Every structure is written in structure tokens, then in C-alpha cells.
């Protein structure tokens, strides 16, 4: 090897070592950044010239990265469900306060029992009406809570859609830089890190799958296969519903005109915050509302009055409890959406509204044809006992409550409380599991692609030795050249 070739090799080694050191410094600077991947300086040998930096490459693991995306989406969706269930749980209140619908129903039953034991006591009758008033108020408040949770979920979906559109717009800019840099041979590794981070943020809102093409561009699809980005971002649209009432149907989220949530979505998303919020708004909260509505219907039925004429000809009519459709009694076994929100105490029985509490004992709320205590006996208990029997008797309930279609009213209320608590517990357990998977997936990805300071320090020592060797070689060649020049002179 000639001295000139050796000199070229040493000089190229110094230049390449400097570039490698620059890459290493970038790694060290981002060692604490979990979104950063390790960068490797790829060096090639050129005969007769030495070495040069061919490119800077990221350490990647597609399988682990995809696992993290899936874990992020499922965890975010489950977190949204848990958060909403925590709010719905407020309708049960603290068990020690006995403020749940089931607890209020038990108190009402106890109050009617006491009235049966003392039918001539006006105070006892008024206490029973007060218990019924608390029962109705509890169902009203629970309905308000449920619809507020649905409205909050709807607003959350709107926020997620806005976030998703913003992220897709950012993704377009970064993706374009990567494609341009790939074509020109520029270092695009930091842009690739940014793109991965944006995809991770997108996966929090909706489950995603990605495809990388030959020019290093990327396309994004939902976990159900709907296009979110392919060359350009697809528009995600959603019309928020301002106010929710029982029976209100929330709007679907559309990706490029294709519904990805709701009953019309043939390619509905299954994970991500949007999917979780949609499940709360359209399924969990709706089911719980139907349970409350059936409790309200059971109450109206149990305390309804029937025609007491010798030849009954009039339909049953609402008694102690009334609703927006009074005096008609709701059909058996059929949900009336929002009934728990409209149930109230009949003003004719409610002392607070100028009513007569003794009508609870005597009947006749709907007129003389419905009067049970025709003799006006102070010790009359037939009507009270009939109400107790209906209150404790088996009724038919709508199967869409996801509870038994045949149960006592108290049994239904208790089952409803149990269903909500079990759903919340199961959601919490699932969320813990999903976050554990996310932590482990992220840890595994970071071990493979993340920056390890020990490894970087080891490489730094190697680069230092390479630099010293190249410097020593240049110094030696310089001495040899000086010697040759002196000999030639």
C-alpha cells in the first residue's frame, strides 16, 4: 500500500469517525426519550479510498411495534369504558348511604309494610308517600346521570375525531419528508421516529394497521380495514349531539364517508378511545337506562288501580306513581324509554302537593270506580296488602335489560345494581390487564430498539480508539514523508 493510499484511508477514517460520533451523540442526547429509536451509522469500505458513512439507519422491530399499537388501542378504549362506568356507579352511591334504586325500593316496601300494620295512621301513610317520593327522585336522578354520561361520551368522541384529523394532517407532513428524504438519500431517521410517535397517538383514538411501501411512504387503516391515510389523509367526520335523553340515538363516526361506529357500521372499529366511548354511549349506558326504566314501569304497575265496579269496564290506571303517559299503565314486559326520568308521585296522594296520603290505603285516585275502601274503614288493609303482593310478586321484564325477564321488582333492582358493579369490576380488571400488556410490549420494544447508554459508552470508547489509531497513522505517514523529502534533498 502506497503512502498516499494509506493517508487517504486514515483521513477518511477520521472523517467517518467524526460522523459516527455525531450519530452517537444524537443517541445519547435522546437516551431518556421513550419515543426515540437507536440510530446506527452504517460504514462501507471503498478500495483505494478508505471508509465512508453510507447511511444512518434506525433499529426497528415491526412485530413488536405493531404489538405496542394494538396494546395502546385496547388500553385506551378500555380506559374510556372504565372512566364512564365510574361515573355510572355514582347512581348506586355509597352502600352505607342506602341511596341506590334497590335500597330506596326496599325502604318503600318497608314503609308500605308499616302502613299495613297501622292503616289508620296518617303519619305512617305520609311516611310511605315520602318513601315513594324518594324512590321516584332516585330514578329521576339516575336517569339524568346516565344521559349525562352518554352526552360526555358523545363529546369525548367529538374530541377524539378532532384529534384524529389533526394527527392525520401532521402525519401527512412528516410522511412527505420521509419520502423526499428517501429519494435524495438524506438521513430521515428522526422523521421516522416522529412518524412512529404520531401513529402511536393515532392508535390511542382508534385501532390501526399500517403498510410501508417501497418508497418508504406509509398507509394507515383502521383495525377493521377502513382507510385513514393513503397518500393523503381521509376526513374523519362526526356530528355531535348536544343533549341526550333516553331513546336518543348518537350519530356515527365516518372515515372517508364509511361509518366506523354504530349499528350501520359494517366495518366498525373494535379498539381505541372512539370505540370505547361509542360502547358506553350506545350499549352500556343504554342497557343501564333500560334497567332503570323497567324498575319504574314495575313500580307504576305494582301501585296501579283497577276498576272496582261489580262489572269492571275501565282499564287499569296509574295510582301512587304517575308518568308522562298517565293515566294509562305501561304495557307489561316492554321498555318505555325514559320512563325512569318521568316517573313521579301522583299529586292527589302527595301531601307536599296538597294531596291526601290516605288514598294509598283507600284507592280512588282515579275516581269512585277505583275506590277500594267503599266503607271508609280506618282499619282497611286490602288495598295496602294488594300493593305489597304486587310489589313482591313476579313481573315480566324486557329481555333487552340483559337481566332476568321474570323477577320480582326488588330482585330486578338488586340485579341491576349487581350488573353495573360486575360490569365495572370486569372493565377494571380488563383495563389492568391491557395496561400490563402495554407496559410489557413497550418494555420489549424499548429493549430492542431503544437507546442503551452502556452500549453507547462502549461504542464511544471504540470510536475513540479508532480516532487515535487513525491519528497515529497520519502522524507516522507524515514522519515518513518528511524522511523521504529529507533524503531526496
Q: Which three cell numbers stand for residue 55?
A: 447511511
Claim to verify: residue 166 and residue 33 sit in the same structural domain: no
Q: Are residues 79 and 163 in the same domain?
A: yes
pLDDT at residue 190 greater than cutoff 60: yes
What is the predicted pLDDT for the residue at 411?
94
The 10s digit of each residue's pLDDT in 211-228 is: 999 999 999 999 999 999
What was the pLDDT predicted at 15? Answer: 74
Task: State the pTM of this model.
Answer: 0.88
User: Which pLDDT band holds residue 95 (cuts at 50, 70, 90)?
Assistant: very low
Q: Which tops the pLDDT comparison, 301 or 469?
A: 301
**Does residue 14 surpass a pLDDT of 60?**
yes
Residue 480 has pLDDT above 90, yes or no: no
Does the pLDDT at position 229 exceed 50?
yes
Same domain as 135, residue 46? no
21 and 117 both lie in a single domain: no
Number of structural domains found in the chain = 2
CB 224 within 8 A of CB 195: no
What range defines the domain where residue 332 resides? 66-437
Whether residues 46 and 117 share a domain: the answer is no
pLDDT at 48 > cutoff 70:
no
Query: Residues 338, 245: contact at Cβ < 8 Å?
Result: yes
Mean model confidence pLDDT for the chain: 90
Same domain for 48 and 79? no
Q: State the pLDDT at residue 486.
A: 76
Q: Kindly state whether residue 342 falls inside one of the protein's structural domains.
A: yes
For residues 347 and 458, state if they share a domain: no
Shared-domain flag, residues 471 and 432? no
Residue 273 lies in a domain: yes
Of the candidates 270, 354, 340, the one whose C-alpha atom is nearest the C-alpha of residue 70 is 270
Angle at 397 between CA 393 and CA 403, to 5 degrees: 105
Kindly give, in sequence order, each residue whose CB lies less than 8 Å from that of residue 193, ignoring residues fewer than 6 positions away: 35, 36, 37, 58
pLDDT per residue as tens digits for the range 383-423: 999 999 999 999 999 999 999 999 999 999 999 999 999 99
For residues 437 and 17, which has the higher predicted lDDT (pLDDT)?
437
Q: What is the pLDDT of residues 55-93, one digit of tens each?
A: 778 888 999 999 999 999 999 999 999 999 999 998 886
Same domain, 250 and 146: yes
Residues 45, 100: one domain?
no
What is the chain's length? Answer: 489
Amino acid at each position: 500500500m502506497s503512502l498516499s493510499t494509506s493517508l487517504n484511508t486514515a483521513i477518511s477514517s477520521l472523517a467517518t469517525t467524526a460522523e459516527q460520533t455525531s450519530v452517537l451523540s444524537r443517541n445519547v442526547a435522546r437516551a431518556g426519550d421513550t419515543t426515540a429509536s437507536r440510530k446506527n451509522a452504517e460504514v462501507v469500505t471503498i478500495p483505494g479510498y478508505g471508509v465512508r458513512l453510507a447511511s444512518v439507519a434506525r433499529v426497528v422491530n415491526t412485530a413488536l411495534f405493531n404489538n405496542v399499537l394494538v396494546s395502546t388501542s385496547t388500553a385506551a378504549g378500555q380506559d374510556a369504558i372504565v372512566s364512564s362506568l365510574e361515573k355510572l356507579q355514582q347512581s348506586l352511591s355509597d352502600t352505607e348511604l342506602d341511596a341506590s334504586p334497590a335500597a330506596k325500593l326496599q325502604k318503600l316496601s318497608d314503609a308500605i309494610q308499616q302502613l299495613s300494620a297501622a292503616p289508620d295512621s296518617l303519619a305512617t301513610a305520609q311516611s310511605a308517600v315520602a318513601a315513594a317520593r324518594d324512590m321516584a327522585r332516585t330514578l329521576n336522578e339516575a336517569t339524568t346521570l346516565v344521559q349525562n354520561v352518554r352526552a360526555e361520551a358523545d363529546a369525548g368522541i367529538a374530541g377524539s375525531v378532532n384529534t384524529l384529523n389533526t394527527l392525520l394532517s401532521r402525519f401527512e407532513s412528516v410522511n412527505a419528508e420521509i419520502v423526499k428524504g428517501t429519494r435524495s438519500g438524506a438521513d430521515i431517521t428522526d422523521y421516522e421516529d416522529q412518524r412512529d410517535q404520531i401513529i402511536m397517538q393515532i392508535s390511542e383514538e382508534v385501532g390501526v394497521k399500517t403498510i410501508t411501501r417501497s418508497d418508504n411512504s406509509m398507509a394507515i387503516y383502521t383495525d377493521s380495514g377502513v382507510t385513514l391515510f393513503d397518500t393523503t389523509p381521509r376526513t374523519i367526520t362526526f356530528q355531535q349531539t348536544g343533549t341526550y335523553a333516553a331513546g336518543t340515538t348518537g350519530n356515527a363516526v365516518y372515515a372517508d364517508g364509511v361509518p366506523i361506529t354504530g349499528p350501520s357500521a359494517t366495518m366498525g372499529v373494535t379498539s381505541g378511545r372512539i370505540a370505547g366511548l361509542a360502547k358506553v354511549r350506545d350499549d352500556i349506558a343504554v342497557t343501564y337506562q333500560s334497567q332503570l326504566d323497567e324498575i319504574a314501569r314495575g313500580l307504576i304497575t305494582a301501585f296501579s288501580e283497577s276498576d272496582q265496579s261489580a262489572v269492571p269496564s275501565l282499564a287499569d290506571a296509574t295510582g301512587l306513581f304517575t308518568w308522562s303517559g298517565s293515566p294509562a299503565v305501561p304495557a307489561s314486559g316492554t321498555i318505555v324509554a325514559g320512563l325512569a326520568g318521568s316517573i313521579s308521585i301522583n299529586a292527589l296522594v302527595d301531601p307536599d302537593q296538597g294531596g291526601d296520603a290516605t288514598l294509598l290505603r283507600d284507592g280512588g285516585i282515579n275516581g269512585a270506580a277505583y275506590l277500594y275502601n267503599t266503607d271508609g274503614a280506618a282499619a282497611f288493609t286490602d288495598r295496602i296488602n294488594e300493593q305489597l303482593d304486587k310489589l313482591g310478586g313476579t313481573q315480566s321484564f324486557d329481555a333487552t335489560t340483559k337481566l332476568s325477564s321474570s323477577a320480582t321488582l326488588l330482585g330486578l333492582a338488586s340485579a341491576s345494581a349487581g350488573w353495573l358493579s360486575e360490569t365495572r369490576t370486569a372493565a377494571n380488571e380488563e383495563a389492568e390487564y391491557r395496561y400490563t400488556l402495554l407496559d410489557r410490549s413497550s418494555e420489549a420494544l424499548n429493549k430492542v430498539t431503544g437507546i442503551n447508554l452502556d452500549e453507547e459508552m462502549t461504542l464511544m470508547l471504540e470510536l475513540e480508539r479508532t480516532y487515535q489509531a487513525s491519528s497515529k497513522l497520519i502522524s507516522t505517514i507524515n514522519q515518513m514523508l518528511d524522511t523521504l523529502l529529507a533524503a531526496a534533498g
